[in-house]
Homo-oligomer: A and B are copies of this chain.
């Protein structure tokens, strides 16, 4: 449905849907490094539907800012659905937002393994009032491509869970 839309168009649609639903969003980002927040705030008036973002690049940031359990990082790795889910829930709990998206992945070109190759991205969407979703993806392309695809999908998923 939104496959032809650009990141900026998706951010516009997201803003309209959040406004209609009277919901506020937050993000928790690792491999996208704040790119989802940057896209959301590119839309004028976004202070009405965007509260804050936790760019938790290091493991310490994930633990300290949004309550990810160190034991979960140790057991499943920072790039895992378990960590992404905790990040999304933690983003809502530590903000004034109702919904959040969390992204943890390996944008490359380094950091890939056989189990988790470059392009592996785990995304979790959490809506405190209704349904949530967590999934893993394998994106193709260079570092910039992987990040852009993750940002696009993060926005699409937020639109879906409103």
Q: Is B110 in contact with A58, judged by CB distance below 8 angstroms?
A: no
Q: Is A33 in contact with B44, judged by CB distance below 8 angstroms?
A: no
As a 0/1 sequence over residues 8 to 47 of chain A, the CB contacts with chain B under 8 angstroms (1 = contact) are: 0000000000000000000101011111111011101111
Q: Which of B32, B47, B52, B57 contacts A47 (CB 8 A)?
A: B57
Q: Give complex CA distance A65, B53 in Å.
A: 10
| Total residues of chain A contacting the partner, CB 8 A | 38
Chain A interface (Cβ within 8 Å of chain B)? 27, 29, 31-38, 40-42, 44-47, 50-58, 60-61, 65, 95-96, 107-110, 143-144, 147
Given contacts A51-B58, A52-B57, A60-B51, contact A38 B42 (CB under 8 A): no
Given contacts A38-B38, A41-B33, contact A60 B144 (CB under 8 A): no
Q: Which of B33, B42, B46, B50 contacts A37 (CB 8 A)?
A: B33
Q: Is B57 in contact with A51, judged by CB distance below 8 angstroms?
A: yes
Q: Give complex CA distance A52, B31 in Å.
A: 11
CB distance from A105 to the nearest CB of B (A): 12
